[in-house]
Amino acid sequence: MRSTSNPAFRNLPRSSAGYGQYGQYGQYGPNVGFEQPPGAGYGMPQQMAGAGDRPMTVDDVVIKTGLSLATALVTGVLTAIWAQSQAEARAMGPVLGVLFAGMLVGTVLAMVMIFRQKPSGPMTLLYSAAEGVLLGAITGVFEMIYHGIALQAILGTFGVFIAMLVVYKTGAVKVTPKLTRWIIGATSGAVILMFANLLLSLFGVNMGLRSGGAIAIIFSLVVIGIAAFNFLLDFDMADRMIREGMPAKWAWFAAFGLMTTLVWLYLEILRLLSYLQND
């Protein structure tokens, strides 16, 4: 499979069928959305998946991603309401405890799923719940300081997601090897800068990337753009998983990969909105 900056989609096992079993796959190209090649049918993928399974479809990805998002939203909203009440009461200790618990559980589950490279519905939903708790705790505090910022961040995140899905399905931006390398490089560079900024801040060095000033706003805009383009790679990888006829259970892995990008994008949009309201 093509490389991707999302670690969830790296080193996925290839199907025994491969692209070659679809015959003239090349004429359809990689950018026709989540569609099966005309005439491909389910014959070969069913043989690959085995008698006890069926090949992964678009509906599988949509349903599993929807369930993951719903789980994150429920835990996120409940946690945000609680965190906001705690923040208003100046009881930040419990909020920080819940925040770090959600971050720890989410990180551990993400690492397990990434290194196991095996789909798991329960683990994906548990990861989504943990990320919902993390985002909810952060959002509750931000909402107490900047009223209405949560709804703006949610709408902004889904707006970017839908926009990039339309861009992908219409082929307005084609996922080529060159673009893939550019996105991976940009993502790596952004992550390195964020970690460097975090480490230097521990020693009192301010790079200005998270200070709320003009540099911070520009950096957040750049990171949001990079996260948005990562959706193209996520969509393309899910598309290829469908085309290779991977078993339906792998839709949970596609949902997990999309969730990791959504979480990153939401946090960056929330941060940017807080900068803008400080001006």
Residue 164, both tokens = 């990039």
pLDDT of residue 198: 85
Return phi, psi of residue 30, to 5°. Answer: -90, 5
Q: Output 128-131 pairs: Cβ under 8 A, ≥24 positions apart.
A: 128/68, 128/69, 128/71, 128/72, 128/75, 128/259, 129/71, 129/72, 129/75, 130/75, 130/102, 130/105, 130/106, 131/72, 131/76, 131/102, 131/106, 131/259, 131/263
Q: Is the distance from CB of 169 to CB of 175 less than 8 angstroms?
A: no
pTM of the model: 0.79
Residue 103, both tokens = 């971050």
Nearest CA to 47 out of 21, 69, 74 is that of 21
pLDDT of residue 156: 95
Nearest CA to 95 out of 104, 86, 107, 106 is that of 86
DSSP structural state of residue 26 = G
179 vs 14, 31, 167, 218, 275, CA distance in Å?
22, 13, 14, 22, 30
pLDDT of residue 109: 94
DSSP structural state of residue 247 = B
What is the dihedral angle through the alpha carbons of 248, 249, 254, 258, rounded to the nearest 10 degrees?
120
Q: From first to last of its 279 residues, what are the pLDDT tens digits of the chain?
A: 455 556 555 555 544 344 333 333 333 333 333 333 333 333 333 334 443 478 888 999 999 999 999 999 999 999 999 998 888 888 888 899 999 999 999 999 999 998 888 888 999 999 999 999 999 999 999 998 898 999 999 999 999 999 999 999 998 888 899 999 999 999 999 999 999 988 888 888 788 788 888 899 999 999 999 999 999 999 999 999 898 888 999 999 999 999 999 999 999 999 999 999 875
pLDDT of residue 260: 94
